[in-house]
A and B are shown apart, each in its own frame.
Chain A
Amino acid sequence: MILQLDQLAVLVRETSILVAIYGIYVLSLNLEAGYLGLPQFGKVMFLALGGIAVGGIATKIALLIYGRAISANLGISPLSNLGTYCSTYQYQTIDIINNIFAKSPFEGIIFFLMAVVLAAILGGVFGVLMAGPALRLREDYLGIFLLVSAEMVRVVSTYTPEVACGVFGAVVPDPFKWLGEWRQWAYLIVVVLFLLLSFVALERLGNSPFGRALRAIRDAEVAARVFGKDIVRFRVRVLATASALGGVAGALLVFYNTYVQMGMFVPVETFKAWAMLIIGGMGNNVGALAGVAVYFILDRVLSMYKEGIRQVVNVDPVFFQYIIFGIIIILVLMYRPQGIIGEKPAKTLKRRILTKLQRGA
């Protein structure tokens, strides 16, 4: 199979965008699961909250702000009759907002930033809410609790049309409309910027005394307590930070699709992140990113050979992909539990570099 050059560029671009978005998502999971050892089986909840923040809240704010232009053009007021808006007028209405953004980059960027901040706040607040149970419950029960809570968020938000147009899904204004055909390339830069920012922040956090305390709590909670570490505060902070980042990842994912349907936030999204983290290496930010990259590269390579497989066995090749991923997860857990890039070597190296840098400064 030979790809044209521009096709290849598009493939690389789209994959890179997804790698960057999931990178943020998995990095935030790594902070909770890798550093603190939390069985976060409800991670998708924070993607969903990002979706709510963008598709539910920010879009409604845009509808409110540009309400005059919308009613002048279409003769409807979406917010007073959400039912008909969701079922009939979404695309036309969002087109009007998009036209405004196409002319005014400033408004688009403000809208984007507002939505992302909203997602971070919403995610962070829910993260703090989850901290209560996280302190009380044992590992297995906590895993189930988080899983069920995520399902609760999905069910309630999917079947409440007021949140994000329910089963219709919410169309989201495109804040980068003014870039025209360069939109996707620009979006790639934006998400990579976000990824770099979170990576640097988490890397510094992980190698700081704070991060070392997290590892101490994970490995020997009693000992950490003896040394005067306030475990409650650490957990609350970690959950708040990681959940806010998860919300940001959700917002970026929604802006990538410029559409959100709350039903898409099923538990599999949580486990996808876990699979990436396990493959890459828990407790190591570089490992987490490597896992994301490996996952998506494998995914793309396998999907390229789909047709070939179909000619051999007449079944949907996507299921072979599931089997391969399942087996990889199990094999990594059995034979290389530390992942591609394990926790320890990277950490000591990083710390040494950091101390050198500190001495230099």
Chain B
Amino acid sequence: MDILSVVDYQTVFRAIILSNIYALMALGLNLTYITTKIPSFAHGDLATIGAYTSYLTLAFLVIPLGLPANVYTTFPIAALVAGATAWLTYVAVFRPMIRRGASITSLMIASFGIHYVLFAIVAIIADYVQNTYKVLSRNILLSRWEYVWPGTDFLTSSLINTTIAVAVVTALLYLLLYKTRYGIVMRASIDNLYLARAVGINVERVFAVAWILIGAVTGIAGIYLAMFYTMTEELGWLRLALVFVASVVGGLSNIYGAVLGGYVVGLSTVLGAAYILRPLGVPTEFQLAIPFAFVIAILLFAPQGLAGVISNLVQRGRK
């Protein structure tokens, strides 16, 4: 009872919402890892692109046309633009480099080069829009356009919506991967690249499609991210370290580990700041240190991630 009186619903809601967002971001990153074997440094920028596409569509299309001004009308286009960008990065940079047998380190550096390019393009568009059309393009929150369920406040609606988003995305991924022919092809390519190639699967085309998915999921995650952190060209980049943490904690090569990792990051940062750091009188800026410490411990003691640990335990239990 004591704990319940201390816990306020706002903090808990915020924690769950951020967990959902990080879960979505990490889902995309894990797919990146599965297809190209690298954690991409340009991942955050896909989220930024999603957020900016949503905002600019709202500002230039949805609101002038008098359509219902909420972010969900912009989801398709945001997913499309971010997906197209992700596909382009794969086809133009990663695929040719993998063909040439580039090492993991050089692929990671290349992804950093992509980050520079994408980040700067977003910044240039933001500058251009601000200077030419006098439309505010930085330090905006998309939360104004979140769909609020009747009879609830923003936080509750956001909790419902982000949870639905995570559920829908994971369910769709599950259906795609396990219930369709294309999913079987994709899993085969992921599990055993050479065998898949040997039986005539065009692995690269499969991965290119996977990259569209990566971009779409991350772009949508970016829209949610921009509801809680002000939008700048650095929106995704600044949170990238935490997304990495979520991915690694969950397990990089497991799609559903991402959800787990997202929850570990979201809950530990927000709840840790509210219920551990604040009572101890530690500045809440230290909340970042909690997941960082978490991931350092995970990497040192269980590099396969929590999902790996759990599946090991389950297997041991079966025996």
A residues apposed to B, CB below 8 Å? 33, 37, 39, 41, 132-133, 136-141, 143-145, 147-149, 151-152, 155-156, 158-159, 267, 271, 274-275, 278, 313-316, 319-323, 325-330, 333-334, 337
In the assembled complex, B288 has its CB within 8 A of some CB on chain A: yes
Q: Is the CB of B110 within 8 A of A140?
A: no
Chain A residues with Cβ under 8 A from B33's Cβ?
140
Nearest chain A CB to B271's CB is how many angstroms away?
Answer: 18
In the assembled complex, B121 has its CB within 8 A of some CB on chain A: yes
Partner of B105, one of A143, A151, A322, A327: A143
20 example contacts (A-B, Cβ-Cβ < 8 A) are as follows A33-B105, A136-B300, A140-B108, A144-B299, A148-B245, A151-B288, A156-B289, A314-B127, A314-B132, A315-B123, A315-B124, A315-B128, A316-B124, A319-B127, A322-B116, A325-B113, A326-B114, A329-B110, A330-B110, A330-B113
Partner of A148, one of B97, B119, B241: B241
In the assembled complex, B13 has its CB within 8 A of some CB on chain A: no
Q: Which of B262-319 contact A (CB under 8 A)?
A: 283, 285-286, 288-289, 292-293, 295-296, 299-300, 303
Given A148-B245, A156-B286, A315-B127, verify A323-B299 contact (CB < 8 Å). Answer: no
Partner of A326, one of B102, B103, B113, B244: B113
Cα–Cα distance between A271 and B112 once the two chains are bound (Å): 7
Chain B residues with Cβ under 8 A from A267's Cβ?
241
Chain B residues with Cβ under 8 A from A328's Cβ?
113
Q: Is the CB of A159 within 8 A of B286?
A: yes
- Contacts A140-B38, A140-B39, A148-B244 supplied; 4 other A-B pairs, CB < 8 Å: A156-B289, A274-B112, A328-B113, A333-B110
Cα–Cα distance between A330 and B108 once the two chains are bound (Å): 11
Partner of B109, one of A148, A278, A322: A278
Chain B residues with Cβ under 8 A from A133's Cβ?
299-300
Closest Cβ neighbor of A139 among chain B residues: B104
In the assembled complex, B187 has its CB within 8 A of some CB on chain A: no
Closest Cβ neighbor of A38 among chain B residues: B105
Nearest chain B CB to A327's CB is how many angstroms away?
Answer: 6
Cα–Cα distance between A316 and B120 once the two chains are bound (Å): 10
Nearest chain A CB to B125's CB is how many angstroms away?
Answer: 9
Q: Is the CB of A320 within 8 A of B120?
A: yes
Q: Count of B residues near A, CB < 8 Å?
A: 49
Chain A residues with Cβ under 8 A from B252's Cβ?
140-141
Q: Is the CB of B288 within 8 A of A137?
A: no
Nearest chain A CB to B227's CB is how many angstroms away?
Answer: 24
Cα–Cα distance between A89 and B199 once the two chains are bound (Å): 73
Cα–Cα distance between A275 and B105 once the two chains are bound (Å): 12
Cα–Cα distance between A148 and B298 once the two chains are bound (Å): 12
Cα–Cα distance between A326 and B104 once the two chains are bound (Å): 18
Cα–Cα distance between A147 and B44 once the two chains are bound (Å): 15
Nearest chain A CB to B275's CB is how many angstroms away?
Answer: 19
In the assembled complex, B115 has its CB within 8 A of some CB on chain A: yes
Q: Is the CB of A333 within 8 A of B124?
A: no
Chain B residues with Cβ under 8 A from A147's Cβ?
241, 244
Q: Which of B86-126 contact A (CB under 8 A)?
A: 93, 96-97, 100, 102-106, 108-110, 112-117, 119-121, 123-124
In the assembled complex, B248 has its CB within 8 A of some CB on chain A: yes
Closest Cβ neighbor of B101 among chain A residues: A337
Cα–Cα distance between A143 and B102 once the two chains are bound (Å): 16
Q: Is the CB of B110 within 8 A of A137?
A: no
Chain B residues with Cβ under 8 A from A144's Cβ?
39, 244, 248, 295, 299
Q: Is the CB of A333 within 8 A of B127?
A: no
Given A137-B303, A326-B113, verify A334-B97 contact (CB < 8 Å). Answer: yes
Closest Cβ neighbor of B245 among chain A residues: A148
Cα–Cα distance between A337 and B241 once the two chains are bound (Å): 27
Closest Cβ neighbor of A156 among chain B residues: B289
Mask, B125-152, CB within 8 Å of A = 1, is 0011001100000000000000000000
Cα–Cα distance between A140 and B124 once the two chains are bound (Å): 31
Q: Is the CB of A316 within 8 A of B123?
A: yes
Q: Is the CB of A322 within 8 A of B241?
A: no
Cα–Cα distance between A181 and B283 once the two chains are bound (Å): 42
Cα–Cα distance between A357 and B261 once the two chains are bound (Å): 58
Chain A residues with Cβ under 8 A from B112's Cβ?
271, 274-275, 329
Closest Cβ neighbor of A331 among chain B residues: B113
Q: Is the CB of A329 within 8 A of B109?
A: yes
Cα–Cα distance between A245 and B92 once the two chains are bound (Å): 37
Chain B residues with Cβ under 8 A from A149's Cβ?
292, 296
Cα–Cα distance between A318 and B245 once the two chains are bound (Å): 30
Nearest chain B CB to A160's CB is how many angstroms away?
Answer: 8
Given A155-B292, A159-B283, A334-B93, verify A141-B117 contact (CB < 8 Å). Answer: no
Given A323-B121, A326-B115, A329-B112, verify A159-B285 contact (CB < 8 Å). Answer: yes
Nearest chain B CB to A321's CB is how many angstroms away?
Answer: 8
Given A327-B117, A330-B110, A333-B110, verify A320-B124 contact (CB < 8 Å). Answer: yes
Nearest chain A CB to B135's CB is how many angstroms away?
Answer: 14
Nearest chain B CB to A335's CB is how many angstroms away?
Answer: 9
